[in-house]
Amino acid sequence: MTQMHDKDDRLARIRDNASWMRRRAMQMVFARGLGHIGGDLSATDIVATLFFGVLNFDPKRPDWPDRDRFVMSKGHATGVLYTALARAGYWPEDRLDTYMDNGSMLNGHPNRNYLPGVEANTGPLGHGFPIALGIAIGGRIAKRNYRTFVLTGDGEQQEGSNWEAAMTAAHRKVGNLTLIIDRNRLQQGAGTEETAGLDPLDAKYRAFGWEVVEVDGHDHGQLLEVLGAPVGSRERPLCVIANTIKGKGVSFMENQVKWHHGVPNEAEYEQAIEELAR
């Protein structure tokens, strides 16, 4: 009974935060006239589930050695990462108002050297996953029980460095590592399958020696079940293919490649906020 309540509470917290994060990211991109709103919206439910239902962390001690690690490999999606970090209490929410201003800590791509909560500097695609693998192996060497999660885009999977990391993680049986792929089927200017096709992505990771699970990347219950499962005795790294919709939540942005880095005009912004508040 208690467990049931705990799960319901967690799902409510994830839902409320995801809704707030979507609206705040939209507002930041509109105000600054820059950003990557399509990929923010596809990843919001994944990132909200991690921060508000899965990760063990203390925002007052961002360098706590036993914290779970989250590496945002698709570093262009700062709207979703920064709103999660602010909401999680790493720094004041009003810092979001400085998004991409000159001299702001909130760069277009995240920087761990001055922004608490960021685990790795990302932006050049294909780097976060290999870094996360190193962090996971480091935890094992240091005999720490933290878990490492990394989120990549699906277009990002076309970078060869991912496949070196995939090979090494399976070879070394890095069971404390979870890779989540935001499978929205769009990259910057076209569909992934028209550009350099990834399918069958699940079979590729299985052949590399990974455990693979596919989920609806907007279903908090499914995400929580898969990402929140204990990893203690896992022999193999886990790849979660999260099927998502780029631009999720805004009718005219969904599955439209132009919203990869499109910025809404005033009328579009108002409609977007209205839809996201429903």
Ligand X SMILES: Cc1ncc(C[n+]2csc(CCOP(=O)(O)OP(=O)(O)O)c2C)c(N)n1
Cβ closest to ligand X, residue 39 vs residue 53: 39
Residue nearest to ligand X (CB): 153
DSSP 127: S
If binding is defined by CB under 6 A, does position 155 make contact with ligand X? yes
Of positions 14, 17, 28, 39, contacts ligand X by CB under 6 A:
39
Segment 72 to 91, residues that bind ligand X, using CB under 6 A: 74, 76
Rounded Cα distance, 248 and 85, in Å = 20
For residues 259 and 39, give the distance between their C-alpha atoms in angstroms, rounded to a whole number: 8
46: helix, strand or coil: helix
Pairing assessment for the beta strands 211-216 and 238-243 based on DSSP bridges? parallel
Cβ–Cβ under 8 Å, residues 45 and 218: yes
User: Which residues are CB-contacts of 124 (< 8 A; sequence separation ≥ 6)?
Assistant: 75
SS3 state at 34: coil
- Total residue length of the chain: 278
- What does 156 bind: Mg ion, ligand X, none (CB cut-off 5 to 8 Å by kind)? ligand X
188's contact among ligand X, Mg ion, none, with CB below 5 to 8 A by partner kind, is ligand X
Q: How far apart are the first and last CA of the chain?
A: 31
Q: Does 241 bind ligand X (CB under 6 A)?
A: no
Quick check: 125 binds ligand X (CB under 6 A)? yes
Stretch that binds ligand X, among 133-141, 152-160, 171-179, 215-223 (CB under 6 A): 152-160
The helix (H) or strand (E) run that includes residue 25 is helix 2-32
154 scored as a contact of Mg ion (CB under 5 A): yes
45 lies in the binding site for ligand X (CB under 6 A): no
Considering the rule CB under 5 A, would residue 184 count as an interface residue with Mg ion? Answer: yes
Residues near Mg ion (CB under 5 A): 153-155, 184, 186
Residues near ligand X (CB under 6 A): 36, 38-39, 42, 74, 76, 123-126, 153-156, 182, 184, 186-188, 246, 260
